[in-house]
Chain A
Amino acid sequence: MEKIEMIHGSGGQATSDLIREVFVKEFWNGYLAQMNDAAVVAGGAELALTTDSFVVKPLFFQDGDIGRLAVAGTVNDLLMRGAVPEYMTVGFILEEGLPISDLKKIVHSMAKTAEEAGILIVAGDTKVVDGNGGLYINTTGVGFVPAGMEISPARIEKGDVVLVSGNLGDHHAAILSSRMSIENEIASDCAPLNDIVRSLINEGIPVHAMRDITRGGIATVCKEMAVQSGKAMLLSEELLPVNPQVKDFCALTGLDPLYMGNEGKMICILPEESAEKALSIMKKAHYGENACRIGKILRFEEEEELQIAPDIGELFLKTAIGGLRKLSVLQGEGLPRIC
């Protein structure tokens, strides 16, 4: 059989054949090989848990696919809390008519990304539904949190510096390009950020907060962090890194790079005195070569100068011409789904 049919979801022979030929082949590890109702894994530390679903269309895009996205997205969520990603589960919803060759490519890509990110896929599930060749993935990720590790927006301090690991909006622009009649070479930045996070932590950088930039873009993520910390954050438009091709793509389509999603970029907030060292570490790490400083958490005197009430949990942008603009989270639905 070349395409997914309802029988692949029967729970009988066709299902186990599919599992054996597609999933076990790619994901094989000692835990998965037990083929039991639940995986029993080694543990002990404080756990970080995350879950996510992936519904992006198209399934394949420039420099990525839904499988790589699912693993990278799950791993990055764990990393942002300072956890070391260890295990993940994968649930597939397959629509009738999906070419099995496409499924194999996606599963292979997941296996490769999981290997890159050092995470084990220890449990999985497959269901088949009516439809038109679509594929959806749900994941759960488990990470171990080293003792004493506390990374969260609650730790953000006045005077902290805001760093970003690279160019904004690449993934979003790549997905939209593939759906429109605009030809370009914009590639998704979808990637696991282990190297950046591990390097920062191993070098003893006192990171206060981290977030990966996904749906809603940098403005949404930073505004949420500002609200959670109760501090005022100021980004500088001139410092925001945007690939010129993505910038023009946004201008053509009326989009704002501030609200465009990435899938392999992160924000890191930390004390001023560690900023330069952190930046050079990020630049040397895999997927961090374009890291740069983009803003800060305002001090009292800066709030006064800009006539901003103290500690209001707001996000501001200093525009290229020197104006001040308050940024909100993404309003409305924005755009077609991108992850």
Chain B
Amino acid sequence: MTDLAEMKRFLSQYDGPELRIMEICGSHTAAIAKSGIKTLLSPKIRLISGPGCPVCVTPTAYVDRAIALAKREDTCLVTFGDLIRVPGSAETLSAAKGAGARVEMVYAPADVVAMAKTEPEKQFVFAAIGFETTMPVYALLMEELLREEVKNVRLLTALKTMPAAVSYLLDSGADLQGFLAPGHVCAVTGSEAFVPLAEKYGIPFAVAGFEGEELLAALYGLLRMQGKGTVKNFYPTVVTAEGNPKAKAMIERYFQPTDAAWRGLGIIPGSGMCLRPAYAAFDAGSSDLTEDHQHNPACRCGQVLTGKLAPTDCPLFGKICTPLTPQGACMVSEEGSCHTAIRYA
């Protein structure tokens, strides 16, 4: 039996070649920082944060469009709190709200249905950002809008798929020896979504949960799996090989693959999802939001998102760029690698 103490011993005493392991998911980045895992690892094991915070990878053109919609007299923009302080090319949703635009924050996208019914003369736009974890939630929202015949809600989508981003990173030559695969994305997609990548690039993937012990177990697994192009599931209470077939079918019913713009990475073909043409009436103008305006030319978000630079390598980090004065998205989002790095230094 491999117990926690043995895993910790193994991870702290590892003395092989330097290993660079990427956690793709922003919630993993936050969980790693919160549990202090980096202080338990040998200096030969480096954890690199990947492009898995949906707020961080959303380009400024999207934020600008959201702000423009919120400023329209007849429109209310509804969003998760995460997006509200992200800078667009000129301002944030928060600033626009302060200046009179209507922006509402919710925890559940479905809340917009009740809002829309109460104010039928208003248009409601939901800022639908996220990865595979959140896509089925938007699919359910679509189903509810159709079932309840609610006509005044539309989605502004910036939905992205994780395997596409990982594939892009590996193709662009990222030097990585293993991935902590995102547990809640895999709850939907199943661990099998990462098998083709593991096999193609000969890199191990360990599906991980979000508690300290679960992360340690997955890291221990990755060390043991070195050199093997396989996927192992260290989060079996929630993740299966095939994931949630009903959720996958729901995504498929309402959404289809599209090219997507990632902040700092550019356009990655087939890496996003958008509403199918049959549901075009529910789209708030989501296509072509690819422009990405950089506020501060010295901002290194792009390299930080791809794991080429650590947050502390950016010349702005902690000086000009702080959680109160963020220059780039990695500092804005609670799950961004720069925000996390400064908060849990």
Q: In the complex they form, do A and B come into direct contact, defined as C-beta atoms under 8 angstroms apart?
A: yes
Given contacts A180-B107, A253-B107, A254-B334, contact A325 B34 (CB under 8 A): yes
Which of B33, B38, B39, B212 meets A320, CB within 8 Å? B212
Q: Does B40 contact A (CB under 8 A)?
A: yes
In the complex, which of the residues A181, A321, A324 has the most CB atoms of chain B within 10 Å of its own CB atom? A321
Q: Tell me the nearest residue of chain A to B344, going by C-beta.
A: A325
Interchain residue pairs A-B with the least CB separation, the first 8: A323-B36, A321-B212, A325-B36, A319-B36, A331-B323, A324-B39, A332-B323, A323-B39
**Residue positions of B touching A, CB distance < 8 A:** 4, 8, 33-40, 85, 107, 111, 212-213, 216, 323-324, 334, 339, 342-345
A112 to B66 Cα, complex, angstroms: 49
**Residue positions of A touching B, CB distance < 8 A:** 180-181, 253-254, 256, 317-326, 328, 331-332
Which of B107, B212, B324, B343 meets A319, CB within 8 Å? B212
By a CB distance below 8 angstroms, the chain B residues around A320 are 35, 212
Could you write out 22 A-B pairs with CB less than 8 Å apart? A181-B111, A253-B107, A254-B334, A319-B34, A319-B36, A320-B212, A321-B4, A321-B8, A321-B36, A321-B37, A321-B213, A321-B216, A323-B35, A323-B37, A323-B40, A324-B36, A325-B33, A325-B34, A325-B39, A325-B344, A328-B343, A328-B345
Write the nearest CB–CB distance from A242 to chain B, whole angstroms: 14
By a CB distance below 8 angstroms, the chain B residues around A181 are 111
A320 to B4 Cα, complex, angstroms: 12
Other than the known A319-B36, A324-B36, what 10 A-B pairs have Cβ atoms closer than 8 Å? A256-B34, A319-B35, A321-B40, A323-B36, A323-B40, A323-B212, A325-B34, A325-B36, A331-B323, A332-B324
By a CB distance below 8 angstroms, the chain A residues around B339 are 331
In the complex, which of the residues A180, A320, A323 has the most CB atoms of chain B within 10 Å of its own CB atom? A323
A15 to B241 Cα, complex, angstroms: 72
Asked whether, in the complex, the Cβ of A331 is within 8 Å of the Cβ of B33, the reply is no
A253 to B105 Cα, complex, angstroms: 13
A326 to B39 Cα, complex, angstroms: 11
A325 to B344 Cα, complex, angstroms: 6
Write the nearest CB–CB distance from A304 to chain B, whole angstroms: 15
A323 to B33 Cα, complex, angstroms: 10
Q: Tell me the nearest residue of chain A to B332, going by C-beta.
A: A332
By a CB distance below 8 angstroms, the chain A residues around B216 are 321
A257 to B272 Cα, complex, angstroms: 35
Write the nearest CB–CB distance from B341 to chain A, whole angstroms: 11
Asked whether, in the complex, the Cβ of B107 is within 8 Å of the Cβ of A326, the reply is no
Q: Tell me the nearest residue of chain B to A182, going by C-beta.
A: B107
By a CB distance below 8 angstroms, the chain B residues around A324 are 36, 39
A325 to B35 Cα, complex, angstroms: 7
Write the nearest CB–CB distance from A26 to chain B, whole angstroms: 38
By a CB distance below 8 angstroms, the chain B residues around A256 are 34
In the complex, which of the residues B35, B37, B111, B324 has the most CB atoms of chain A within 10 Å of its own CB atom? B35
Q: Tell me the nearest residue of chain B to A180, going by C-beta.
A: B107
A321 to B8 Cα, complex, angstroms: 9
Write the nearest CB–CB distance from B55 to chain A, whole angstroms: 13
A321 to B213 Cα, complex, angstroms: 7
A324 to B33 Cα, complex, angstroms: 10
Asked whether, in the complex, the Cβ of B33 is within 8 Å of the Cβ of A322, the reply is no
Q: Tell me the nearest residue of chain A to B342, going by C-beta.
A: A331
Q: Tell me the nearest residue of chain A to B12, going by C-beta.
A: A322
By a CB distance below 8 angstroms, the chain B residues around A317 are 36
A136 to B175 Cα, complex, angstroms: 57
By a CB distance below 8 angstroms, the chain B residues around A325 are 33-36, 39, 344
Asked whether, in the complex, the Cβ of A322 is within 8 Å of the Cβ of B8, the reply is yes
By a CB distance below 8 angstroms, the chain B residues around A180 are 107
Given contacts A320-B212, A321-B216, contact A326 B344 (CB under 8 A): yes
Write the nearest CB–CB distance from B331 to chain A, whole angstroms: 10
A328 to B35 Cα, complex, angstroms: 15
A180 to B343 Cα, complex, angstroms: 27
A321 to B33 Cα, complex, angstroms: 12
By a CB distance below 8 angstroms, the chain B residues around A323 are 35-40, 212
By a CB distance below 8 angstroms, the chain A residues around B38 are 323
By a CB distance below 8 angstroms, the chain A residues around B107 are 180, 253
By a CB distance below 8 angstroms, the chain A residues around B36 are 317-319, 321-325
By a CB distance below 8 angstroms, the chain A residues around B213 are 321
By a CB distance below 8 angstroms, the chain A residues around B334 are 254
A166 to B37 Cα, complex, angstroms: 28
Write the nearest CB–CB distance from A134 to chain B, whole angstroms: 18
By a CB distance below 8 angstroms, the chain B residues around A331 are 323-324, 339, 342-343
Q: Tell me the nearest residue of chain A to B38, going by C-beta.
A: A323
By a CB distance below 8 angstroms, the chain B residues around A332 are 85, 323-324
By a CB distance below 8 angstroms, the chain A residues around B344 are 325-326
By a CB distance below 8 angstroms, the chain B residues around A326 are 344-345
Q: Tell me the nearest residue of chain B to A317, going by C-beta.
A: B36
Which of B35, B323, B324, B343 meets A321, CB within 8 Å? B35
Write the nearest CB–CB distance from B84 to chain A, whole angstroms: 11
By a CB distance below 8 angstroms, the chain A residues around B324 are 331-332
Which of B34, B40, B85 meets A322, CB within 8 Å? B40
In the complex, which of the residues A256, A317, A322, A326 has the most CB atoms of chain B within 10 Å of its own CB atom? A322
A254 to B107 Cα, complex, angstroms: 10
Write the nearest CB–CB distance from B94 to chain A, whole angstroms: 9
Q: Tell me the nearest residue of chain A to B27, going by C-beta.
A: A254
Q: Tell me the nearest residue of chain A to B339, going by C-beta.
A: A331
Write the nearest CB–CB distance from A302 to chain B, whole angstroms: 15
Q: Tell me the nearest residue of chain B to A332, going by C-beta.
A: B323
A328 to B39 Cα, complex, angstroms: 17
A160 to B251 Cα, complex, angstroms: 57
A328 to B341 Cα, complex, angstroms: 11
Write the nearest CB–CB distance from A70 to chain B, whole angstroms: 27
In the complex, which of the residues B39, B40, B212, B216 has the most CB atoms of chain A within 10 Å of its own CB atom? B39
Q: Tell me the nearest residue of chain B to A251, going by C-beta.
A: B210
By a CB distance below 8 angstroms, the chain A residues around B40 are 321-323
A332 to B339 Cα, complex, angstroms: 10
A107 to B34 Cα, complex, angstroms: 42
A324 to B344 Cα, complex, angstroms: 10
